[in-house]
């Protein structure tokens, strides 16, 4: 397999001219992944916010402080247009959707309930969304416990074990830190796969592929000439998204540039190999786009981007371990958030590189057969 560098350089130059001549292509390559990162980084969060909380209690300093702490936490917002003194059935606030959570003190007030311990404080939560309801309940209990402790009341009881909890790698439990590395993988993989596969199939649609076949160039030169420009642009896309994540979302930076570069190279190689393989079985740009969607949907869902791989049923979990996006996502999170444990990094990188090599060989073999 002989590659002439002048021929290859001509291919690459021609591809870059074609890319930069089309404004829509530039938008697809840079604007779309950056917008996905910004929009998903802001919208995709497991934090529960904007909880409408009503506190039903006799007017007291403790009740006011519970409400003030709740509003100051950023999780809750006040319920407007109700008078706690005139509420006879607090559950009606949930039924009528006036509130999502209601803290109901006994008739004697919150102070009496905390002093004697024989009057329970009731928490009513709308549990249509069970996961959200669990978090709402936890938030209210935390606020109530902190307020009580600030006034000298003890909710834990004597003799109970006190736990000292430490949170590692993501001290503020910020979902954005967890999601940005995964969104970086997802967005770059989507764009490179779709754009590269459509670029190759466009040669078939316009009839220029026959000219390439008739010309004295090898299969390797055609493939490298079509994919290397997108490889270079892929590195630029990942770099731009990483910059937005670090300076725009204040994502922690603990790993090395070398690890990120190696992981990016493997990820881009996988995406372009899949794109090339897809282009060998499609004949039009529309087919390439639809085929890309069919590949991307399961690849994203089985990559650990949105939920842990351990939560996926065992009957489907095998597909995760042949999905290069899963290893790229795990490695970007490992490098950016944890500092990049080298043994774990090389384990994931080796498997992903093996998958990239298999996909590249399959794409080369199929492409060569189609040319012949």
CATH of the domain at 128: 3.40.50
Residues 209 and 99 both lie in one domain: no
At a CB cut-off of 8 Å and minimum separation 6, what does 361 contact? none
Q: What's the DSSP call for residue 318?
A: G
**Could you tell me if 284 and 228 lie in one domain?**
yes
Q: Does residue 216 sit in the same domain as residue 111?
A: no
Residue 217 above 80 pLDDT? Answer: no
Q: Flag whether pLDDT at 36 surpasses 90.
A: no
What is the model's pLDDT at position 92? 79
Per the CB < 8 A criterion, the answer to whether 288 and 201 are in contact is yes
Q: What residue has token string 């080369």?
A: 364
Q: What is the overall mean pLDDT for the chain?
A: 80
Q: Is residue 297 part of a domain?
A: yes
Residue keyed to tokens 């834990």: 156
The answer on 219 and 357 residing in a single domain is yes
Within this chain, do residues 87 and 205 fall inside the same structural domain, yes or no? no
Please tell me whether residues 189 and 311 are part of one structural domain.
Answer: yes
Instruction: Say whether both 143 and 282 belong to one domain.
Output: no
Highest mean pLDDT (candidates 100-109, 319-328, 359-368):
319-328
- Count of structural domains, the chain: 2
Q: Contact at 8 Å (CB) between 91 and 80? A: no
Q: What is the mean pLDDT of the segment spanning 47-60? A: 80
pLDDT digits (tens, 9 = 90+) for 142-199: 888 888 778 776 655 543 333 344 555 566 566 777 788 888 899 899 989 988 888 8
Burial 107-119 (b: 16+ CB within 10 A, else e): eebbbbbbeeeee
- pTM value is 0.72
Tens-place pLDDT, residues 69-125: 888 888 888 777 777 667 777 777 877 778 888 888 777 777 766 666 556 778 888
The whole domain housing 349 covers: 5-44+173-371
Average pLDDT for 309-334: 87
* CA gap 151, 148 in Å, rounded: 5
Tokens of 238: 């990942």
Confidence of residue 261 (pLDDT cuts 50, 70, 90): very high
Q: Are 85 and 134 in contact, with CB atoms under 8 Å apart? A: no
Q: Do residues 70 and 143 make contact, with C-beta atoms less than 8 angstroms apart? A: yes
- Strand ranges across the sheet with 101-104: 76-78, 51-56, 101-104, 122-125
Q: Is 284 helix (H, G, I), strand (E, B) or coil?
A: coil
């Amino acid at each position: 397999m002989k590659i002439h560098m002048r021929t290859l350089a001509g291919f690459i130059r021609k591809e870059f001219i074609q890319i930069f001549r089309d404004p829509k292509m530039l938008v697809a390559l840079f604007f779309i992944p950056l917008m996905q990162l910004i929009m998903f980084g802001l919208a995709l969060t497991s934090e529960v916010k904007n909880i409408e909380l009503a506190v039903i209690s006799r007017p007291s300093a403790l009740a006011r402080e519970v409400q003030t702490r709740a509003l100051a936490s950023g999780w809750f917002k006040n319920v407007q247009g109700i008078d706690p003194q005139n509420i006879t059935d607090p559950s009606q606030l949930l039924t009528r959707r006036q509130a999502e959570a209601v803290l109901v003190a006994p008739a004697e007030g919150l102070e009496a309930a905390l002093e004697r311990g024989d009057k329970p404080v009731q928490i009513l939560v709308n549990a249509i969304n069970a996961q959200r309801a669990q978090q709402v309940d936890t938030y209210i209990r935390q606020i109530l416990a902190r307020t009580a402790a600030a006034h000298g009341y003890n909710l834990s009881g004597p003799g109970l074990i006190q736990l000292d909890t430490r949170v590692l790698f993501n001290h503020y439990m910020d979902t954005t830190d967890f999601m940005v590395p995964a969104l970086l993988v997802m967005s770059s993989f989507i764009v490179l796969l779709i754009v590269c596969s459509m670029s190759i199939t466009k040669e078939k649609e316009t009839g220029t592929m026959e000219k390439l076949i008739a010309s004295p160039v090898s299969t390797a030169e055609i493939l490298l000439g079509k994919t290397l420009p997108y490889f270079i642009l892929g590195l630029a896309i990942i770099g731009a998204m990483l910059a937005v994540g670090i300076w725009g979302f204040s994502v922690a930076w603990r790993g090395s540039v070398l690890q990120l570069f190696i992981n990016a190279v493997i990820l881009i190689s996988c995406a372009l190999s899949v794109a090339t393989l897809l282009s060998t079985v499609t004949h039009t740009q529309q087919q390439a786009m639809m085929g890309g969607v069919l590949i991307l949907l399961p690849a994203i869902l089985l990559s650990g981007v949105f939920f842990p791989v351990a939560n996926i049923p065992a009957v489907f979990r095998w597909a995760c371990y042949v999905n290069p996006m899963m290893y790229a996502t795990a490695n970007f999170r490992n490098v950016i958030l944890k500092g990049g444990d080298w043994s774990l990094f090389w384990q994931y990188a080796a498997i992903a590189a093996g998958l990239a090599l298999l996909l590249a060989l399959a794409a080369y073999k199929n492409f060569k057969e189609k040319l012949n």
